[in-house]
Amino acid sequence: MSNQEKLSIAGSGIMGHSIALTAAWAGIDVKVWGTDETDIERAKVGVEAKLDVLVDYDIFDENKKAQIKKAITYTDSLEDCVSEATFVIEAIPENLELKQNFFKQIDEICDESTILASNTSGLSATEIARHTNNPSRTVVTHFWLPAHLMPLVEVVRGDHTSDETIERAFTLLESMNKKPIFVKKDVLGQVGNRLQYAIFREAQYILENEIASMEDIDAAIRYSLGRRFGVTGPFMTMDMGGLDTNSSITSYLFQDLSDKKDIFPTMDKLVENGHYGPKTGKGFYGWSPEQTAKMEHEREKELIHWIKKDMEETKEVTYR
């Protein structure tokens, strides 16, 4: 599918430059805004590192890498970045007031036909667009981290988002070789994070009640659901297991699952003590630089395996 949009990414952090890489990989020229030269240089380094990994795994060659880099331009002028764009994806920090003010700013700079999309992972599409003059052209396009390796993008309709805006978002994302889904209502957490945090709540409940260790809970996901859900989602899984059997299990198990509405004590204590994960060297697990690098490599390797599978499926469709 060919792209007709002039794309700009407002934000050069991990999400911003990864989205830009994704667009350029699909042959789309893209402008990226960074707050200053330091941010821009950091983004360039991030793109270079990600491209090197993809070359190492034979996803593409050095010539393609050079083409991708050439398709991305950077600027520290927001007006220069978005003024001629027909589609802007905002990828700034996850703070509602910050995003509202930012949308108000770009709403005044951009042409009235330009689509304004937010990459928020869970904030309200309607609230983000509250101070814009024309919220019908606003939408959420939530990419998953790492954005250049995860196919899913959640397209979320705000209360005032037009059908045309949704259609243009889908057209652009499909031209970027993404797998967009339509979130028809503006709900916190969208679809993916609501599912993810439902699992995480139950995982914490199991840990707090000493039913299983943290390591075994992680193993239960990695070696069962994690593998199965890569092929069949929850509804297809239930169908294949038999709705008669799964209805019976639902009737007693739902009554026993956690419905806790706040943070569990173990996580609360970790956060209170400044233990946030790899960024601080400790979270639920201990994170040395070596362990962090190892797990990032393992995750990257597995996701690239899936990328290769997706590329093969695309070839099969193309040559049928």
The reported pLDDT for the residue numbered 1 is 60
Give dist(CA 71, CA 178) in Å, integer.
Answer: 18
For position 316, what pLDDT does the model report? Answer: 55
On the 0-12 / 13-18 / 19+ scale of CB atoms within 10 A, 20 is: buried
**Residue 4 token pair:** 């007709």
Return the pLDDT at 200.
98
For the chain, 320 residues long, the average pLDDT of each consecutive 10-residue run is 88 98 98 98 98 96 98 98 98 97 97 97 96 97 97 98 98 97 96 97 98 98 95 96 97 97 97 98 98 95 93 62
CATH architecture label of 7-183: 3-Layer(aba) Sandwich (3.40)
Do domains 7-183 and 193-287 share one topology? The answer is no
Amino acid 105: pLDDT: 97
193-287: in CATH 2.170.190.11 = no
Q: What are the residue ranges spanned by the domains of the chain?
A: 7-183, 193-287
**8 Å CB contact between 106 and 129:** no
Q: Are 90 and 100 in contact (CB under 8 A)?
A: no
